[in-house]
Amino acid sequence: MDYLTENIDSLNQKLAAGTVSADELLQASLDQIDAHKNLNAWITVDKDAKPDADLDFKASKLAGVPIAIKDNIVTKGLRTTAASHILDNFVPVYDATVIKRLHKAQATIFGKTNMDEFAMGSSNENSYFGLVRNPWNLDHVPGGSSGGSAAAIASGDVVAALGSDTGGSIRQPAAFNGIFGIKPTYGRVSRWGLIAFGSSLDQIGVLTKRVRDAAEVLNVIAGPDDHDATVSERPVPDFTAALGKDVKGLRVAVPKEYMSDAVDADVRAAVQKQIDALQAAGAIINEVTLPYTKYVVPTYYLIASSEASSNLQRYDGIRYGFRAKDTKNLMDVYLKSRSEGFGEEVKRRIMLGSFALSAGYYDAYFMQASRVRTLICRDFDNIFKDNDVIVGPTTTTPAFKIGEEIQDPVKMYNNDILTISANLAGLPAASVPAGLSDDGLPVGFQIMGQRFDEAHVFQTADFIECSNKFYQQKPAGLED
């Protein structure tokens, strides 16, 4: 089974025809994971997992299809660590809503993918379980924080993976790995059972090789949930209905800030090719401006870190997770368990958040960032009055080298400049492959839509996928 040439529909047909069994599909995933051990894309794999009995291939396209789960989404009985020492022995006693829905659709859930600790990072170098390598070039990072999910798709371990995106954590690794990734609208998918990082920004989404596959998985996981009051009650459309639609007349905005000199020339060139293809097919291209782009990185890091410092208070070494030894009193348990249990980047974000929320600095930092967030949202509202989608590069550079930026937090944070606005404004956004850089590394094309308008995002991504057929290429790093 070569997952790089398969998709959910093709697997479903083979399963229904009986030419392959769900057990064989699962075994194929386990074999692939074994063959790609050097990528370190997985944290926990349950070799004794079994596909559902009584699979109904007509009722569910996901029936018997192995799906990877990022390790910050809780899975009952399957260790869930958020790639942190503080949770390295944590076995959840319940399933996240998205997991329940995948189980109902009879998908096979058997393993958890590597990530930056608590989803904090843009390179997957912040994992307690070691860094992940990029299948296109093993000396380069896979991006983060959903780096394991992205590398697992790009190397053909599975055809679909769940990720989470707080500031680009699905789209940036999707771009770096030459695959598709979508962060739906904030409120489209339940966050119940997603280990919280920045609660006003976090959203679960899907990484796949093919656009249609992501639409099919999103169809299953989206929609209202009694356990998460932030999920919208709007009806969930069939996302596959948007695929194959003509882009003639589609109004496409291109922010000039996203195509500036700050973006690598070969990245810009690859992105421009896709814009030209859209135009040639009859889409209307409008150059627009997002004047607050230069402020999105500080705005995001203040807000996300403030929310994180609050969310991560719960890790106290008392009820679950790691507890330090040799403690003399309760305060000592907190201090030592947290100091030994959290990695450096997580501590940095907790510290930044505590500072931004502390007496004397709250208004100047947290509240000022929250006011600038309003201005950023208004920028987008204005553009969507006259446009259906906003497009540009997903990242300013292709995947950088392992070790290149990890010692410089500010440089690392600036990687996220093109992706974090969608989180601040709650917009759906996706990355679809645009081509290769001069160095043979994938370049991502980002598509953002109006809130709850994933349909136009899927439509545009599907057009790009059909026009450049990037999915036919295989990662260079996989060849011996």
Catalytic residue set: 70, 145, 169
Element at 33 (helix H, strand E) = helix 22-35
377 contacts another protein (rule: CB under 8 A): yes
β-partners of residue 435 are 443
118 contacts another protein (rule: CB under 8 A): no
Which x/- pattern, by CB under 8 A, does the window 393-412 give for another protein? ----------------xx--
Of 5-13, 22-30, 344-352, 394-402, the window that binds another protein (rule: CB under 8 A) is: 344-352
380 contacts another protein (rule: CB under 8 A): no
CA atoms within 13 A on the CB side of 272: 11
Please select the residue that binds another protein; options are 34, 314, 351, 469, rule is CB under 8 A. 351
Please select the residue that binds another protein; options are 49, 90, 277, 404, rule is CB under 8 A. 90
362 contacts another protein (rule: CB under 8 A): no
Of 65-73, 154-162, 279-287, 339-347, the window that binds another protein (rule: CB under 8 A) is: 339-347
Q: Closest separation between CB of residue 39 and another protein, Å?
A: 29
Write the CA distances from 373 to 302, 316, 341, 350, 367, integer angstroms.
Answer: 11, 31, 32, 20, 10
Q: Closest separation between CB of residue 76 and another protein, Å?
A: 10
262 contacts another protein (rule: CB under 8 A): no
Per-residue burial over 408-433, b = 16 or more CB atoms within 10 Å of its CB, e = otherwise: eeeebbebbbbbbbbbbbbbbbbbbb
CB 159 within 8 A of CB 193: no
Residues sharing a CB contact under 8 Å with residue 294, sequence separation 6 or more, in sequence order: 257
Binding residues among 271-310 for another protein as defined by CB under 8 A? 292, 294-295, 297-299, 301-302, 309
Binding residues among 225-244 for another protein as defined by CB under 8 A? 226, 229-230, 232-234
Which x/- pattern, by CB under 8 A, does the window 182-221 give for another protein? ----xx------------x---------------------
Which of 66, 321 has the CB closer to another protein? Answer: 321
Which residue in this structure is represented by tokens 């500072």?
A: 355
Token readout for 39 is: 């990528």
172 contacts another protein (rule: CB under 8 A): no
30 contacts another protein (rule: CB under 8 A): no
Which residue in this structure is represented by tokens 């006011």?
A: 371
Which of 59, 364 has the CB closer to another protein? Answer: 364
Which x/- pattern, by CB under 8 A, does the window 449-468 give for another protein? --xx----------------
CB 429 within 8 A of CB 447: yes
355 contacts another protein (rule: CB under 8 A): yes
Please tell me the distance from the alpha carbon of residue 395 to that of residue 408, in angstroms, as a whole number: 18
Which of 265, 318 has the CB closer to another protein? Answer: 318
What is the edge-to-edge ordering of all strands in the sheet holding 42-45?
A: 42-45, 108-113, 66-70, 160-165, 203-208, 180-183, 429-436, 442-449, 389-393, 251-255, 284-288
Burial of 288 (0-12, 13-18, 19+ CB in 10 A): middle
Q: Measure the CA dihedral 432/376/187/345, to 10°.
A: 80
Please tell me the distance from the alpha carbon of residue 203 to that of residue 216, in angstroms, as a whole number: 17
Which of 43, 275 has the CB closer to another protein? Answer: 43
365 contacts another protein (rule: CB under 8 A): yes
373 contacts another protein (rule: CB under 8 A): yes
91 contacts another protein (rule: CB under 8 A): yes
Alpha helices per DSSP H over 64-155: 97-104, 147-154
Which of 283, 372 has the CB closer to another protein? Answer: 372
CA atoms within 13 A on the CB side of 25: 33
Which of 59, 229 has the CB closer to another protein? Answer: 229
Which of 371, 469 has the CB closer to another protein? Answer: 371
CB 464 within 8 A of CB 274: yes
Q: Closest separation between CB of residue 427 and another protein, Å?
A: 9
